Amino acid sequence: MVPRYSRPDMVAIWTPEARFKIWFEIEAHATDALAELGVVPKEAAAAIWEKGAFEVDRIDEIERETKHDVIAFLTNVAEHVGPEARFMHQGMTSSDVLDTCLAVQLAKASDILIADLDALLVVLERRAREHKMTPTIGRSHGIHAEPVTFGLKLAQAHAEFARNRARLVAAREDVATCAISGAVGTFANIDPFVEEYVAGKLGLSVEPVSTQVIPRDRHAMFFATLGVIASSIERLATEVRHLQRTEVLEAEEFFSPGQKGSSAMPHKRNPVLTENLTGLARMVRGYVTPAMENVALWHERDISHSSVERYIGPDATITLDFALARLTGVMDKLVVYPERMLKNLNKMGGLVHSQRVLLALTQAGVSREDAYRLVQRNAMKVWDSDGALSLLELLKADPEVTLSDVELEDKFDLGYHLKHVDTIFTRVFGAA
């Protein structure tokens, strides 16, 4: 976890204090359930809640001797509870505590990330509607293709992040499971009721079959989902970075008063936030492969996954939380230049309308091959002139082009390309 790329609410989930608090709740709820079953005295269960406490430094001190974190935790709690502490952890194994705690933490982290996505979706919809009919050039392979609107670009991003939200909701549900099943997951020394009871108290579902550990395919899917979200962040960030290039300059990150772009060149206004987002996305995706490799544990359990999850649990969620918040800020304050968009769209002498002419010629009886040849022949002249020539005028002067001047002029109408924007917006945002 790097403080520079961290926000306090997400960080708080992963502190030692937060982790040990969840451990205590798991143990105390489990003891309550055992008391209901008559396995332990109800007075002992009450004493754990009443007297139970822990100190992180003391747990660390004990662990230096025991080399076992759960035992160190239980020993420290017992120092506060007294003789009744012997009824804690009855029939349980360490993974019951560790895995259930991780499920709680990932569920809490998911809730923050879902809220982050909701905030981003609000901004994307607002900016999309603002620029719903702002014409700009669509590019394929980085080359001018046909007109779109800037609102459509943002609507696409909104639809993508809405899918990501649905994926994360599903991943949260999948990973939020509780296992209190004892050694090798057979419930030999603890009743399944305890697991159901603890799950209910912690807002988790019951793991159908645990092999002493919760199966890591759940976690693999969770972190894979975070990786997909990170890739969507990079996609939108890359779009902004390209649009901010000096030769394009159709949009740019907000440049605040007093901000400096370069230590050497005072004129610079660099896309530093979206470049940063590209890097953060790489980091989040980097945690996906270790999560996948955690699935294949030995037999009923080993701990090869443990060290991995101590890294990727906090780091992936903290980094993605920061990245989503940063992207929301970028898109909220993004400076858009409609005039530059229109200027760039018209830069190449009307080449963006070539398909309409091609189709009109075929409708007029020209073979597709001949129509393509005619349009391309004139289009390449415009291309070689860097837009100084006009495709429309060249086509009018071409004796092989059988369309009238009026028919040709109709094919260069910008509004034609935008006639279905409302339909697309309705698909993305619903009826107005």
pLDDT digits (tens, 9 = 90+) for 324-350: 999 999 999 999 999 999 999 999 999
Angle at 387 between CA 385 and CA 389, to 5 degrees: 70
pLDDT per residue as tens digits for the range 102-155: 999 999 999 999 999 999 999 999 999 999 999 999 999 999 999 999 999 999
Rounded mean pLDDT, 357-377? 97
* Average pLDDT value over all residues in the chain: 96
d(CA 400, CA 366) in angstroms, rounded, equals: 10
Query: Would residue 267 show up in a list of annotated catalytic residues for this protein?
Result: no
- With bands split at pLDDT 50, 70 and 90, how would you rate the model's confidence at 429? very high
| The predicted structure's pLDDT at residue 410 | 97
| Statement: residue 82 has pLDDT above 90 | yes
Give dist(CA 73, CA 54) in Å, integer.
7
- Active-site entry in 262, 304, 307, 385: 262
Q: Exposed, middle or buried: residue 354 (CB in 10 Å: 0-12, 13-18, 19+)?
A: buried
User: What pLDDT, in 10s, does the model give residues 390-426?
Assistant: 999 999 999 999 999 999 999 999 999 999 999 999 9
Please name which of 218, 221, 223, 211 lies closest in space to residue 311, comparing C-alpha atoms. 223
The closest of 189, 95, 161 to 428, measured between CA atoms, is 161
227-247 tens-digit pLDDT = 999 999 999 999 999 999 999
Residues of the chain with pLDDT > 70, as a percent, come to: 100
**pLDDT of residue 432 exceeding 80:** no
pLDDT, mean of residues 89-93 = 95
35-49, 298-312, 324-338: least confident range: 298-312
pLDDT the model gives residue 66: 97
Encoded tokens for 213: 């550990």
- In this predicted structure, what is the pLDDT of residue 213? 94
* Sheet strands (E) in 91-191: 135-140, 143-149, 177-178
Kindly state the average pLDDT of the residues 61-80: 97
CB 414 within 8 A of CB 394: no
Owner of token pair 């006639």: 419
94 labelled catalytic: no
Q: Per-residue pLDDT averaged across 194-220, rounded?
A: 96
Q: How many CB atoms lie within 10 A of CB 171?
A: 23
3-state helix, strand, coil in the chain (%, to 5): 65, 5, 30
In this prediction, residue 396 carries a pLDDT of 97
Quote the percentage of the chain above a pLDDT of 90: 97
d(CA 281, CA 302): 30
- Cβ burial of 198 (10 Å; 0-12, 13-18, 19+) is buried
CB 116 within 8 A of CB 328: yes
83 token code pair:
């003789």
Annotated active-site residue in 68, 110, 141, 256: 141
Query: What pLDDT is attached to residue 1?
Result: 73
Q: Does residue 84 register a pLDDT over 90?
A: yes
